[in-house]
Amino acid sequence: ICSTVFVFVFSFFVWHSTRIVDRISVLLIVFMGFTFIFSTYGLATNISLDTLLDIGGKDTNYAKYAVGMFPVALTSFGYHHSVCTMRAYYGDEKKAKYAISGGTAIALTLYLLWIFSIFGNLPRNQFAPVIASDGNLDILLNALGRVIESNTVKQMINAFSIAAILSSFIGVGLGVFDYLADFFKFDNSKIGRTKSWAVTFLP
């Protein structure tokens, strides 16, 4: 029930207009920026070089994990679903290209900072329960809680993750919404946008 309510509430913004999604995304990004800074600062100040480089670790062969990284990278930095939205929003393919390139560069920089912060604090042998839970955030926070004695950092990470989920939902939702609207040739009227909303979110 909660997930259904979540979809209906936040998909309304997608149905309403690209402009309102833009405004909400800006607010979420600002909030994410603050929480990211506080959380990564708390983690970065505790980075251990031995932990980061896994000095003394039993299994130092990480090449086998490279293939498994590609789907994550494609999902994290895939922008194909946003092309239609960017082109329609900016009205200029060159501006859309710069927006996508710049956004990807920012995301990659923050992603690498996050990776360094996590891997510099959490020993490799403590990643097992996180991996077993498919990356469940609560498990990660519990694991970090055993090496970092800071509830503030944990709360900031949790707040950041919630904002990231909301931002991703409306961002990806808008991209798919515009793609399907273009694919089915729905117009931009209320009826047309309702049709686009239906084929995007009801399935």
Rg, C-alpha atoms of the chain: 20
- First-to-last C-alpha distance (Å) of the chain: 16
- Cβ atoms of residues 170 and 24 within 8 Å: yes
Token pair 């989920």 in the structure block, residue: 165
Percentage of the chain beyond pLDDT 70 is 87
- Is 74 domain-assigned? no
- Is 158 domain-assigned? yes
pTM: 0.69
Q: If pLDDT is split at 50, 70 and 90, which confidence band does 76 have?
A: low
- Is 145 domain-assigned? no
pLDDT of residue 189: 92
- Is 53 domain-assigned? no
- Is 186 domain-assigned? yes
- Is 156 domain-assigned? yes
What distances in angstroms separate CA 175 from CA 18, 30, 80, 98, 143, one per listed residue? 10, 21, 8, 17, 35
Residue 5 has pLDDT above 80, yes or no: yes
- Is 104 domain-assigned? no
**Mean pLDDT of the residues in the chain:** 82
- Is 194 domain-assigned? yes
What whole-number distance in Å separates Cα of residue 87 and Cα of residue 161?
A: 28
Annotate 148-183 with b (16+ C-beta within 10 A) or e (fewer): beeeebbebbebbbebbebbebbbebbbbbbbbbee
- pLDDT per residue over 31-45, tens digit each? 988 888 888 888 888
Lowest mean pLDDT among 25-29, 43-47, 149-153: 149-153
The domain of 174 spans 1-46+151-202
- Cβ atoms of residues 171 and 82 within 8 Å: yes
Structural domains in the chain (count):
1
What whole-number distance in Å separates Cα of residue 103 and Cα of residue 96?
A: 10
